[in-house]
Amino acid sequence: MKRKKIIFYFLVLLFISLIIISFTSNINFYKDEKKIYEEITNINTLIGEDNESDIDFLELKKINKEVVGWIEVLGSKVDYPFVQTTNNSFYLNHTFNRNYNGNGWVFMDYRDKNFKNKNTIIYAHGIYSNALFGSLIDIYNSSSWYQDNTKHYINITTPDKKLIYKIFSIYVIKTTNDYIETDFKSINEYRDFLIKIKNRSYYNFNEEVLVNDKIITLSTCYNKKEKLVIHGKLI
């Protein structure tokens, strides 16, 4: 009888502990999310919200010297500076201000050489409130976005150039690393890669992609087990 009481009290204590942990985690999540929005607001105040004008990278570099460009995905809320460091882990949990935050920031693959690779990859978490790459989930689930081909573009601005990519593939896939290759051993290998990622697309963009094309890949979380991936070709 005493043993049953001990087990019962243990289970009650465990249940209460899990509730406390869950509650604390939720509080920390919302605090982190609030800080992300504060940084976004500060950045927009710094450079102005009209991104048709030139981005002031000198001012941005005063905040973070690792900023390398600005990304805009038409039809989404993605409109942020992005960074690059010596690995693909630091900005998974650090913001543009380099403060620790579980939501991280938008960052370019450390292997990329100033957009000279065949495949340039940019990552960010998919935050539920649509910050960072969260709004990419909305365009994936929006037939109206797909039907408006004026929105099928990714704009990249760097201190020395402006690049426009036309989206040719968007899909959700179980977490894998087979789409994050930056360079390829042969033309045939790259051709096979392009065929593979194009055939995965949820929508048919009717866009031809050739081995001479350079592409960009955006990668984010769709849920805990799957990634949302977008590919565009440089035009």
Distance CA 47, CA 76 (A): 20
Inside any domain, residue 14: no
User: Does the pLDDT value for residue 124 go beyond 70?
Assistant: yes
Residue 27, domain member (yes or no): no
Contact criterion met (CB below 8 Å) for 143 and 86:
no
> What is the bridge-based pairing of β-strands 162-174 and 226-234?
antiparallel
DSSP designation for 13:
H
Q: Does residue 28 sit within a domain?
A: no
Tell whether 32 is covered by a domain: no
Query: Is pLDDT of 174 > 70?
Result: yes
| DSSP-based three-state secondary structure for 2 | helix
Distance CA 82, CA 122 (A): 8
Q: Region 160-181: what's the mean pLDDT?
A: 97
pLDDT of amino acid 31: 57
User: In the predicted model, is pLDDT for residue 128 greater than 90?
Assistant: no
Residue 122, in any domain of the structure: yes
pLDDT, tens digit, 9 for 90 and up, residues 1-45:
555 555 554 444 544 544 443 333 334 444 566 777 788 787 877
156 located within any domain: yes
Q: What is the pLDDT of residues 18-29, one digit of tens each?
A: 444 333 333 444
CA dist., res. 29 & res. 181, Å (int): 32
Strands 162-174 and 215-221: unpaired
pLDDT band at 100 (very low <50, low <70, confident <90, very high): very high
CATH of the domain at 93: 2.40.260.10
Select from 64, 133, 59, 128 the least CA-distant residue to 92: 133
Res 192: pLDDT: 98
Whether the full predicted model's pTM is greater than 0.85, yes or no, is no
Backbone phi, psi, residue 231, to 5°: -120, 140
Give the number of other CB atoms < 10 A from CB of residue 11. Answer: 10
Question: How many domains is the chain partitioned into structurally?
Answer: 1
Q: 224 lies in a domain?
A: yes
Domain that holds residue 77: 57-234
